[in-house]
Amino acid sequence: MTEESPCWSSEPYAPGGGGTAEGALKNLDGTELDPLTLLVRESAQNSWDARIGDGPVDYRVELRTLGPSEAPVWRDLFAAGAPQLRHLKLRASLARPVLRILTVTDTGTRGLGGPTRADVAIPGKSDFASFVRKTGSSSKINGRGGTYGFGKAVFHLLSASHTVVVHTRCRVGDQLETRLIGWAVHESYTVETGDGAKTFTGRHFWGRARNGYVEPLIGEEADEAAGNLGLNALPENETGTSVTILDPVFGERDDADAMRWIVDAMVWNLWPKMLPEGGDAPMRFSASHEGRIVPVPRPSEVPHLRPFVWAYDDMNQLVEHKSMGRALGRLGMRKFISPQGKPPRVAQEAGIGERLHHTCLMRPVDLVVKYLEGPPFFEESGGYAAVFRADTDMDRVFAAAEPASHDAWLVDKLGGDERRLAKHALRKINDAMKEASGPVSVANEAGEGVSLAGMSRLMAGLMTGTAGEGAEAVFATGTMSSGGTTGAGRGSAGTTGAGGTTSPGGGAGIASGRRRVLYDGPPEHDVVEGEAVIVQRFTLPDAGSCVVRGRPVVALGDGRGVETEPPVGAAIPTVLGWRAENGTVMNGSSLHTIGGDGTVWSLIVRPAPDTMTELTVVVETGGGDR
């Protein structure tokens, strides 16, 4: 290595003091978030804050092993002149027989531009200095996800040697400029020198030394070094940034588990940036492990997350402080039958269990802050999900209430009117969850109040999920008319139902050749032989042999009737069979039986994914043709 070769330099304390490296690391101790979750949240916020115009931001995470031509370059460039092992564990990482790197890259962003020194200020152009040089810097700009500079320390936390390499391309004047710098943090320390004891902050930089100060490699030199290190080249003539973590550590997880956690963290913490799904989302996410793609699911494909997507679409309820005349944000709420099984571990870390009774809190930048837990739904199989997005004018208030990890609103740290407004917003959110958690009453066709005492008695507008993207089904309830027979399902009054035709006055006339059926409550969600189904209980009050048929159809919603001719190839709801009171299940689309004995039968239907299903039970005289 020549005198002009890039080298390491350890940062001494300035005469006026300064922050320590471990101070930045320990600032994250207050969060319960997993470091991988924190990495995704912090880096994605940085990427979003650096977006260019209205174009999408591409965000990618890659884990791989360095090849035989790449690993020696890392050892040659970074081992020579590295700090002593007791001050930085870089030499130990480089001595490993196999070297791995974890890289986070964004494009569609402006890169880390501005001065490379922290003591030079150009208004509005400080990205490089804020990210690499400064500790704990705060953004005063609305519309940014990040507010503090401490969260970036997670890059170092995930490295066994606390070492990262920053590769960025930015615009300087009218020209594009590539920059490459090594950056490590550990503990502050003191060493004895010929001039006495000297103290160091614990921060170390690798690059081009200039009068005891390290500058990044620039231009062609940076591009060449990045290529030799095996770093992915940034797209030609585009700006962006990649941060590479040397020798990543994942605790007890293996690499495959770590990448699955990272992908789940993307989905559960960044899902609003994935909407609308299918091409026009504000951010595009990808991941790979040893060159193989790790799929990133759509939010609507994740059962426990899907209700929050529904609530996001319904976010039209204004939350305000009326006496102060301030809009605080908007709230959307959905109720549903809870998905079966446990959510991913990332969701459990965020406080999501098998039952959903939470509000997703976010600022106007649409990045998840927290899933706020509310009271459980009154029936074990049900739940609710809500989304609250703070008003733009409240952005700074809630940003000031966030800790360094951006994962909570600590409103008690605020003062004056800001504290009053923020506490009022949270109180309104909690009130909405309390109201959603309890039973409600709806009116039947006779105008009588019906108390819904269980989740199986689905309330108006209640959604239940079935397998498939965005799946939801709304069931016709079969309300009781004053004549004692059932009319059509919910939302279908006046149409032909099971056993008769509902008159405007609520009475029923028996259609020729048809027998009566009485519904035993609205449909229920159930599992039969491991399959999610809808079950409608009923009795046959008229004596004699009969044929019973189920007629499940896809409801078009918004009062537009039902689907008479489904699209070619589309899934349709299907009658699977019939269950007697003793539990015996008989397969087939029709049931041949004797009515009038009080037996409670159950129609079993498989709903079609992504649809609303309306159920009708029809009974006809006969039964000889089996």
Distance of CA 574 to the CA centre of its chain: 32
pLDDT at 550 over 50: yes
The confidence score (pLDDT) of residue 278 equals 64
Q: What is the dihedral of CA 454, 456, 457, 458, to 10 degrees?
A: 120
Q: Which domains does the chain have, with CATH numbers?
A: 10-296 (3.30.565.10), 306-437 (no CATH), 463-621 (no CATH)
Two tokens at 423? 């506490």
Which of residues 214 and 524 earns the better pLDDT score?
Answer: 214
Residue 381 has pLDDT above 70, yes or no: yes
Q: What is the pLDDT of residue 113?
A: 93
Half-sphere exposure of 384 (CA within 13 A, CB side): 30
Q: Which residue has the higher pLDDT, 261 or 452?
A: 261
CA pair distance 146, 148, nearest whole angstrom: 6
Residues 6 or more apart whose CB falls under 8 angstroms from that of 576 comprise 528, 531, 533, 587, 604, 605, 606
Instruction: Tell me the CA end-to-end span of the chain in Å, nearest whole number.
Output: 92
Q: Confirm if 4 and 209 have CB atoms less than 8 A apart.
A: no
Give the pLDDT of residue 16.
58
Q: pLDDT at residue 222 above 90? A: yes
**Average pLDDT estimate for 581-610:** 88
Among candidate residues 531, 603, 607, the one with its CA nearest the CA of residue 571: 607
Question: Which uninterrupted H or E stretch holds 94?
Answer: helix 90-94
pLDDT over threshold 60, residue 401: yes
554 vs 573: CA distance, rounded Å? 7
pLDDT at residue 618 is higher than 70: yes
Q: What angle do CA 468, 473, 479 make, to 5 degrees?
A: 165
- Helices 255-270 + 35-49 axis angle, to 10: 50
pLDDT at 472 over 80: no
What value does the mean pLDDT take over residues 298-306? 93
Could you report the per-residue pLDDT of 70-117, keeping only the tens digit for each?
999 999 999 878 888 888 999 999 999 999 999 999 999 999 999 988
Residues 6+ apart with CB under 8 A from 116: 128, 129, 132, 133, 179, 215, 216
Distance (Å, whole) CA 349 – CA 41: 14
Reply yes or no on whether the pLDDT at 480 is more than 90: no
pLDDT of residue 293: 97
Distance separating alpha carbons of residues 197 and 195, to the nearest angstrom: 7
Residues contacting 603, CB < 8 A, separation 6+? 535, 536, 538, 548, 550, 575, 578, 615, 617
**Residue 495: pLDDT over 50:** no
Model pLDDT for residues 143-177, shown as the tens digit of each residue: 544 443 556 889 999 999 999 999 999 999 889 99
Does 120 score more than 70 pLDDT?
Answer: yes
**How confident is the model at residue 86, as a pLDDT?**
85
Q: Which two tokens stand for residue 253?
A: 């997880």
The pLDDT confidence band at residue 560, using thresholds 50, 70 and 90, is: low
**Among 95, 250, 81, 251, which residue's Cα sits nearest to residue 182?**
81
pTM of the model: 0.72
Query: What pLDDT sits at residue 559?
Result: 47
Which has more confidence, 476 or 276? 276
Structure tokens at 100: 């791995």
Alpha carbon 100 to its chain's center: 28
Task: Name the nearest CA neighbour of 518 among 478, 474, 552, 575.
Answer: 478
DSSP 533: E
pLDDT of 19 above 80: no
Q: Are 313 and 333 in contact (CB under 8 A)?
A: no
Q: Residue 299: which pLDDT band, with cuts at 50, 70 and 90? A: very high
Residue type, 477: T
